[in-house]
Amino acid sequence: MSTLEKLSELESRRTTIVVKRNEEAKKAALAQGKLTARDRINALLDENSFVEIGAFMASRSTAFNMPEVDTPADGVVTGYGTVNGNPVYVYSQDSSVLGGAIGEMHAKKIVRVYEDALKLVHQL
């Protein structure tokens, strides 16, 4: 498989996670009168400043038939962007994935955001 084919496959996977999954989450959130995890982040951050971290992560659990359950981004959207031009790290939990339950990879993504934010603070 060529590099171009691999990049195309990654972009297809990302689109499935971000676009298709967000449509499903949006329906669930709207039914509850809420915004989706990505919508909350986009409302907070400056326009087009969000860079997602860990979009391809999914649950590693094998208990309770978990391999059969789709857990896009393992139920938490993490990344960084800007608010009024100031750099920030953010995460937003997605209640449409396993009811918002926190698993191993979900927690690791949140920890990484905190660690990256601390590194940024020490650079300033």
Q: Which structural domains are found in the chain, ordered by start?
A: 3-123 (3.90.226.10)
Task: State the pLDDT at residue 84.
Answer: 97
pLDDT digits (tens, 9 = 90+) for 25-67: 667 777 778 888 888 999 999 999 999 998 877 666 655 555 5
What is residue 118's predicted lDDT score, i.e. its pLDDT? 95
Contacts of residue 79, Cβ cutoff 8 Å, sequence gap at least 6: 41, 50, 51, 52, 53, 89, 90, 91, 113
Q: What is the mean pLDDT of the chain?
A: 80
Q: Which two tokens stand for residue 92?
A: 């937003």
pTM above 0.85, yes or no: no
Strands annotated E in the chain? 51-53, 76-83, 86-93
